[in-house]
Each structure stands twice: as C-alpha cells, then as structure tokens.
Amino acid sequence: MIKQTPEGLLCFTFAIMLSECTAMLRQFSKRIPLRRHILFYILLFISSCSPDKKNVDVSQVDVKIETERFENDLAENSGNIFLLQHKYGSFFDLFTYQLLKLGTPDTILLKTRLNDFVHDPDITNIFADTKKTYNDFSELNGQFTNAFRHYKYYFPEKNIPRVITYISGFNYAVISADSMLGIGLDMYLGSDSKYYPSLQMPEYKIRKMRREYIVVDAMRGWGQSEYEPDPARTDLISQMINLGKEQYFLDMMLPEISDTIKFGYAKKQLDWCIASEKSIWSFFIEHKLLFSSEASQIGKFINDGPSTNGFPKESPGNIGAWIGYKIVKAYMDKHSGISLAQLMTEKDSQKIFRDSGYKPAK
C-alpha cells in the first residue's frame, strides 16, 4: 500500500472544502471583483496539487547503490583468478569469456591471457586514465541510487542489480545480464579523450562519451534487458513506439536529468524537434512510412547519426525516438490508470498508437 503524503492529504482536504464553497464564490464574483481574484488563486492552488507522474518521493525507498570497481580489482589482482572469481562470480565469466573472448576455462591459460590483457601497454594507459577520471565515484553512486529507487518504486517486485564497472578495450559501453549491470568506463573518458578520434569514432558518438551519459545509458540498457519488445512487430510505428517506451522509462527513472542527455540530442537539435513536431509527423504521414517494414527505410529514422536522412541538418539522428516518446506520453497522459509496469509489458504497439490519440500541436 502506498502511503498518502502530507502534501497529498492537504490537497485532498482542501479540494473537499472548495467543493462546498466554490459555488458561493462564483455567485459573488460578478458583484465583488476582489472575490474574482480570490477564486483565481484558489483554483491555482488546486491545479498545483495535480499529480505529476515524474514527481514522486522516493527518499524512503530502501535502495543504496555502491558500485563495484572490477577494473581496479583486476589491475591489482590479475594473477589471483580465484579471488576475482569468488568476488564477482558470473560477471567474471561474462567478462573473460564473452567480453574479452579469452575462450578457455583452463586456469593456467586463463591466467596467462588475462595477465597479457592487463599488462598490454595500451590497456595500462587506459587503466591509468580511467582511474584518474573516475577516482571518486560517489556522485555517480548517488545518481544510480536515485535511479534505482525510482525503479523499485514503480516495479516493487523487481530485484536491484549489482552495478559493476570494467574496461573492455573500447568494445562495450553497457552490458546487463543475470542481475548485473556493467559499465565500460573506457567508453566514457570524455569527449576530449585522445583515444576516440584515433579509433575513428564519429563526432556524434564522441560527444556522448562522457560522464553525464553513464547513468542514462546504463538505465536504458537495464530497461531493454528487462522489457524486450515483440520481435515480430517490425513496422516503423512499432519501432518508434518501442523507442518511445524506452524514453518514457528513462523519464520516470531519471526525472532530474535533462532531456538533451536522455535523448542524446544537442540542445539545438531538441529545440528543433519541439518546434518541428507537426512537420516531422506530417513527413511520416505524407510518405506513408508508419506501417512500412522495409529495413532500409526504417533504419534512417531509428538509428543514431549526426542528423536524420530526409530532414534538415538541424535535426538529430534517431528522430523516431522523439516521435515515439510523444506518442507514448500522449497514451499515458490519456490513460492515467495505466501504470508504468503495464506500459512496459504491453507488447501491442499498435494498441498504444491507436489509444494514444496522438496529434502534434500546431
């Protein structure tokens, strides 16, 4: 049972009182101008009591994240495989066999290959830069704690994963499996890192390879692993709504994080989306794209990039996520009785589209 907050009780009590006196105030409002102002401010107070789905108090939710620093333990104990296996369990196996692809359960060979990885000159430099950049993880622990308190608030039956950092040699930013959420810190060394241009990574990716995106990317990855979409629905509108659900999930988990970070758009790109919502939607309608399942067409609108093909250069890549989010938000705003858990488990994207009544503002 969710306890009613003191603010909620105040609003509820005040609303009952107003239901008895508002009619009287209206009777006198025409004759006494002052009463008109009184009525206005009372109604303004009532509107401030309207529930905000994102504005929930999670301070009493019993969750605290202390990120485990696997990369530090590996650098210090690469020769002690048994210690690492004991402390990290299945994550150690995931890291060695799937991420690094060392490809052997043999203890001696594994020790040798793991040592080769740790003492490779390039990896040694990456270890040093990562340790310098993320020596203090307390702020990120606080962000993860807040995010997973929201997660537990909306999904009380779900377990909270272990959050583990690692270095993979620029291969994996986020992994999630078996109640573990892993973060490749070498993928977040900052947009001015010397490594990324040498790896020929595009600028639109480099821009997001910094601290501010860690918790957003991690929560997105966790949501994707927990709520997989229906693979049979391959049309564009379904793909966009799936992306929209991811964005709405992030909105609920990270209400204090800016939309530019959650969408991965530059501010001017987000501003363009807001100003161009109607024309973006009209483009999809006029070109009869919503129910297309042609992969080459769909990829233009749901894949990341410097901009979206077919739209002005001011547009962001992955513009489908923006429209999908607007549809999902319209659906949730229209159906206040539907919980976040129900939204995330709803695989019928066509139903969400139909029932959203989505219509972009003029």
Each residue's pLDDT tens digit, 35-51: 444 433 443 343 344 34
- Distance between CA atoms of residues 269 and 234, nearest Å: 27
* Among the ranges given (104-113, 123-132, 194-203), the one the predictor scored with the smallest mean pLDDT: 104-113
* Among the ranges given (105-109, 205-209, 329-333), the one the predictor scored with the smallest mean pLDDT: 105-109
| Per-residue model confidence (pLDDT) at position 12 | 39
Question: Six-digit token pair at 326?
Answer: 């607007």
User: How high is the mean pLDDT of the chain?
Assistant: 87
Q: What is the largest CA-CA distance in the chain?
A: 93
Each residue's pLDDT tens digit, 193-212: 999 999 999 999 999 999 99
DSSP 99: I
pLDDT score of 83 more than 50: yes
Confidence class for position 352, pLDDT limits 50, 70, 90 = very high
pLDDT score of 320 more than 80: yes
Nearest CA-CA partner of 212 in 197, 191, 198, 196: 191
Confidence class for position 29, pLDDT limits 50, 70, 90 = very low
Section 21-38 average pLDDT = 43
Residue type, 145: T
Residue type, 336: S
pLDDT score of 188 more than 70: yes
